Chain A
Amino acid sequence: EAQVTQNPRYLITVTGKKLTVTCSQNMNHEYMSWYRQDPGLGLRQIYYSMNVEVTDKGDVPEGYKVSRKEKRNFPLILESPSPNQTSLYFCASSSWTGNTGELFFGEGSRLTVL
């Protein structure tokens, strides 16, 4: 089954404790990206990757890091989480060569930073 898998789905952590949210897709997609969703603000892009070893900042990259060492994985790293990073996070992927416009989303990771 074609899917984007995020882990963990729910996490409560404390300020300053490094964490990684993993994202993996099994569709051989070139494009992957991370978003955070906060009430009233819609989805805001954090980082995106056009292909392996190619990443770029979205609208809200501060406090986050990413890496794309393999095509299927695109982890989101919070080196020193702060309470303002409490949010719902989505990973998404697409085969931009298909040009259909469909972005496949993971189920979301709800993060709380105390």
Chain B
Amino acid sequence: EDKVVQSPLSLVVHEGDTVTLNCSYEVTNFRSLLWYKQEKKAPTFLFMLTSSGIEKKSGRLSSILDKKELFSILNITATQTGDSAIYLCAVPDPAGGTSYGKLTFGQGTILTVHP
């Protein structure tokens, strides 16, 4: 059974701090790892990672994948109150060579950023 584990489960920081969120996985047919941000509503897509060592960046957020050690990290620098959210990672088990099939999410990390 595919497994995705995130840590920490919750994190409280102050504006300006840098945070690192972790996602480890055990899947049978690894193709990619996805990161999502969920505020008060639906999750929104952040990154898709497929190759080890290649960092994806979007503003103050960045993410990297280690396929040998089976984990990914999501970094947020200079945090702001608007970064407060649940951060989810997910690993698809692709069917027939496509991106998706069964999709396993981690429990999520609840990040709270205080002013």
Number of interface residues of A (CB under 8 A): 28
Q: Assess whether A106 is in contact with B42, with CB atoms less than 8 Å apart.
A: yes
Number of interface residues of B (CB under 8 A): 27
Chain A residues close to B by CB (< 8 Å): 31, 33, 35, 40-45, 48, 50, 56, 58-59, 90, 94, 96-103, 105-108
Chain B residues close to A by CB (< 8 Å): 6, 9, 32, 34, 36, 41-45, 47-48, 88, 90, 95-96, 98-108
A23 vs B62: C-alpha distance when bound (angstroms):
32
Of all chain B residues, which has the CB nearest A57?
B102
Q: Pick the contact of A108: B32, B42, B44, B105 (CB < 8 A).
A: B42
Taking A40-B107, A50-B96 as contacts, is the C-beta distance between A105 and B102 under 8 angstroms?
Answer: no
Q: Assess whether A50 is in contact with B98, with CB atoms less than 8 Å apart.
A: yes
